[in-house]
């Protein structure tokens, strides 16, 4: 009888437990959404308003994909979220006008399967494939054939008035030719040809990173004379408001544009009737990408029929009848002019390739990492060689191979003393890296440690970056992490008198420093710079020891027992906490901060709880950091390498040797859909 009585109670308890877990998961998702929205808005302002992007395309695309996935699952978040968002609010430097027809973005796809998903939903399979020009969008309004107003995309609802600037561009006609509607808004892209970009950078005091930035910075000038002094070009590709239409397809509209006096990308455009056709066009354009005289970052695929376009309509921020098929990393060949050495916060000497500047995938690349002496030997690269350079993931430049050794090529000799402080350089037994031993007074190491301390995954102090640390260390205002917390008190008045600061920026910096005084334990462990201890390991140590004092007193044997902590790492941790100088600096820091103990919120009923999980390849819906955070919340133990102890390998696109190792060891392998299903 007692068993029957307790069973309903158990079911009630289980019901409310699951309800609470669902609410916790919901809170995590909503917090993640808010964080992503804040970041994307800031990135859009930097890109669209300031013409100075602060993140690469891959990082932006990852965040965009993730927030759209969240808003699909939580439609209420989409109402004022990213799904209704286009570009950035117009700058108050310009007059603004509403777009009569909203100027929307284009949804991105990154592989053939995503193209197929879109294609399979189409009624009309007649497609028009154009180049996706990497420039700045514009809308030019003509009334009775006369150009009367030009706008940027702006927020998609309203744009900035750049009429006078557009009038300086020869490719945008002041008066339309031939037969045209009474009212027509021609929309297109202002760009700068690569040759004109190189010429501008050779003669201008201001150096632009890539043609897109040069075009945007030149077009969005308050003084049209500056725009006129820089050689800009333009293509027309679509339309907004119009009084009448006598064309039926996108391909016909290109002909109309050319008859009115616009240039188009028709010479590179193609018709397609299947995904195989699209992929062939994609491959052909990729093969000849460097021969196109302007930068492109993909293809735009449109339903050719205008009637079908109108029938399909649009989402809140993008048409349903077109997609942008984005390109992957780009490569180029250039000369290796020199190899220099950078000294990091741990004293590691990293060789850096100084390259003859080359435009790769729209970015001017002049430097690339060579990692270490072993990598130089593996590549057999010499100063003076012609080398193949790739922007890995369209982000980090790296040397792939030597293309040609020239008569003037000479071997690089790795330095035996630190190029910054003159300290001895050693290579520990079994280690690849070469290290400066002068850790206490090497300026490069001190600056590197401070940059690490204020970074996003450490104390996350906004307003102190590389430039500020260099300035403050040169002034002797900051010599250790603890000095940051007395910076405003001691030097605030002097700072307010300096160029680039002022009352508002000093006040903001003080707020940022004060926020950082209350800090999670794992952030402290990561920030203090224990060799080999990264963000994930810091979280493991915080979870296991619960306090900094417990970690300080941990023995090597205790550390080795923890999954994810090997013998070498355990030795480094114990050595760090036995170092008299390091502990003096740490004790000094502890006077100014309040460490919050870890809450250890995990979904203990998850099938991932306690599992050792390795991520490999590229996930399309999550960044690597997001995926790791989710795994940790579900009780998993993310690992960096595959071993016999690994339980699950989650393999994204372009998975490499880790996937191969998992297959050989018979380890469970999930794709991104499997991962997503478990999360749900």
- Which three-class secondary structure state does DSSP give residue 475? coil
By CB neighbour count within 10 A (0-12 exposed, 13-18 middle, 19+ buried), where does 635 fall?
A: middle
**What sign has the CA pseudo-torsion 157, 161, 162, 163?**
positive
Among 209, 91, 197, 208, smallest CA distance to 153 is for 91
The angle formed by the CA atoms of residues 121, 125 and 130, to the nearest 5 degrees, is 105
State yes or no: is 174 an active-site residue: no
Q: Which of 132, 256, 326, 335 is catalytic?
A: 132
Cα(234)–Cα(218) distance, integer angstroms: 13
By CB neighbour count within 10 A (0-12 exposed, 13-18 middle, 19+ buried), where does 434 fall?
A: buried
Cα(639)–Cα(77) distance, integer angstroms: 33
Residue 459: CB partners within 8 Å, gap ≥ 6?
A: 453, 516, 519, 523, 527
Residue 252 is inside which H or E element, if any? helix 250-260
Helix-then-strand count for the chain, H and E: 26, 24
Residue 332 is inside which H or E element, if any? strand 331-343
Among 107, 51, 46, 109, smallest CA distance to 82 is for 107
**What sign has the CA pseudo-torsion 462, 468, 469, 472?**
negative
One DSSP character per residue, 39-106 reads HHHHHHIIIIISS--SS-HHHHHHHHHHHHHHHHH-HHHHTTSGGG--S-PPPTTS-EEE-SS-----
Residue with tokens 């005084």, as numbered in its chain: 517
Q: Tell me how crowded residue 25 is: count the other CB atoms within 10 A of its CB.
A: 15
- Please report which residue ranges of 262-346 form alpha helices under DSSP H: 275-287, 306-312
Residue 559 is inside which H or E element, if any? helix 556-560
Cα(255)–Cα(264) distance, integer angstroms: 9
Say how many Å lie between the first and final Cα of the chain, rounded.
38
- Which three-class secondary structure state does DSSP give residue 140? strand
Residue with tokens 């679509």, as numbered in its chain: 238
Cα(503)–Cα(277) distance, integer angstroms: 60
Cα(422)–Cα(437) distance, integer angstroms: 10
Classify the phi-psi angles of 41: left when phi > 0, otherwise alpha if psi is within -120 to 50, otherwise beta: alpha
Residue 237 is inside which H or E element, if any? strand 233-242
Cα(210)–Cα(571) distance, integer angstroms: 46
| Radius of gyration, alpha carbons of the chain | 28
Cα(386)–Cα(402) distance, integer angstroms: 6
Report the catalytic residues. Answer: 132
């Amino acid at each position: 009888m007692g068993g029957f009585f307790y069973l309903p109670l158990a079911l009630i308890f289980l019901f409310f437990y699951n309800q609470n877990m669902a609410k916790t998961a919901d809170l995590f998702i909503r917090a993640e959404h808010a964080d992503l929205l804040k970041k994307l808005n800031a990135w859009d302002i930097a890109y669209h308003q300031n013409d100075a992007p602060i993140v690469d395309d891959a990082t932006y695309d990852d965040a965009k994909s993730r927030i759209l996935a969240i808003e699909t699952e939580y439609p209420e978040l989409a109402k004022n979220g990213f799904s209704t968002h286009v570009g950035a609010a117009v700058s108050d430097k310009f007059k603004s006008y509403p777009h009569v027809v909203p100027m929307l973005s284009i949804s991105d796809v990154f592989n053939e399967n995503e193209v197929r998903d879109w294609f399979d939903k189409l009624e009309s399979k007649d497609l028009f494939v154009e180049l996706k020009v990497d420039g700045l969008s514009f809308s030019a309004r003509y009334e009775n054939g006369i150009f009367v107003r030009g706008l940027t995309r702006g927020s998609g609802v309203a744009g900035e008035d750049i009429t006078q600037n557009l009038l300086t561009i020869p490719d945008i006609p002041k008066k339309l030719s031939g037969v045209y509607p009474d009212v027509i808004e021609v929309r297109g892209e202002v760009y700068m040809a690569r040759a004109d970009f190189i010429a501008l950078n050779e003669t201008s005091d201001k150096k632009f990173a890539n043609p897109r930035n040069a075009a945007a910075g030149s077009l969005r000038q308050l003084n049209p004379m500056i725009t006129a002094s820089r050689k800009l070009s333009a293509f027309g590709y679509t339309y907004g408001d119009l009084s009448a239409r006598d064309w039926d397809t996108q391909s016909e509209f290109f002909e109309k544009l050319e008859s009115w006096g616009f240039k188009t990308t028709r010479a590179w455009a193609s018709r397609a009737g299947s995904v195989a056709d699209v992929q062939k066009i994609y491959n052909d354009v990729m093969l000849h990408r460097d021969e196109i005289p302007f930068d492109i970052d993909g293809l735009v695929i449109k339903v050719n029929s205008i009637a079908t376009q109108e029938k399909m309509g649009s989402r809140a921020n993008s048409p349903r009848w077109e997609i942008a098929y984005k390109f992957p990393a780009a490569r180029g060949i250039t000369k290796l002019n020199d190899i220099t050495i950078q000294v990091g916060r741990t004293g590691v000497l990293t060789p850096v390739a100084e390259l003859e500047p080359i435009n790769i995938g729209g970015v001017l690349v002049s430097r690339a990492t060579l990692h270490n002496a072993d990598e130089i030997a593996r590549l057999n690269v010499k100063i003076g060689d012609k080398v193949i350079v790739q922007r890995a993931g369209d982000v980090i430049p790296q040397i792939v191979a030597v293309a040609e050794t020239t008569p003037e090529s000479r071997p690089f000799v790795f330095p035996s003393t630190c190029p910054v402080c003159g300290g001895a350089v050693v290579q520990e037994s079994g280690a690849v890296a070469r290290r400066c031993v002068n850790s206490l007074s090497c300026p490069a190491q001190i600056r590197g440690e401070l940059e690490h301390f204020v970074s996003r995954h450490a104390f996350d102090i906004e307003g102190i970056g590389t430039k500020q640390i260099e300035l403050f260390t040169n002034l002797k205002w900051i010599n250790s992490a603890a000095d940051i917390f007395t910076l405003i008190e001691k030097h605030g008045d002097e700072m307010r008198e300096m160029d680039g600061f002022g009352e508002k920026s000093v006040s903001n910096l003080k707020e940022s420093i004060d926020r950082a005084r209350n800090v999670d334990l794992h952030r402290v462990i990561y920030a203090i710079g224990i060799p080999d201890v990264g963000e994930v390991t810091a979280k493991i140590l915080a979870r296991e020891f619960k306090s900094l004092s417990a970690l300080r007193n941990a023995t090597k044997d205790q550390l080795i027992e923890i999954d994810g902590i090997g013998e070498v790492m355990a030795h480094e941790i114990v050595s760090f906490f036995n170092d008299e100088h390091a502990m003096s600096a740490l004790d000094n820091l502890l006077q100014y901060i309040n460490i919050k103990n870890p809450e250890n919120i995990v979904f203990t009923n998850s099938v991932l709880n306690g599992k050792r999980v390795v991520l490999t390849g590229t996930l399309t819906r999550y960044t690597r950091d997001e995926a790791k955070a989710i795994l940790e919340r579900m009780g998993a133990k993310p690992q960096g390498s595959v071993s016999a102890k690994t339980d699950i390998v989650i393999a994204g696109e372009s998975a490499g040797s880790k996937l191969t190792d998992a297959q050989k060891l018979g380890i469970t392998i999930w794709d991104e859909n499997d991962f997503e299903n478990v999360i749900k």
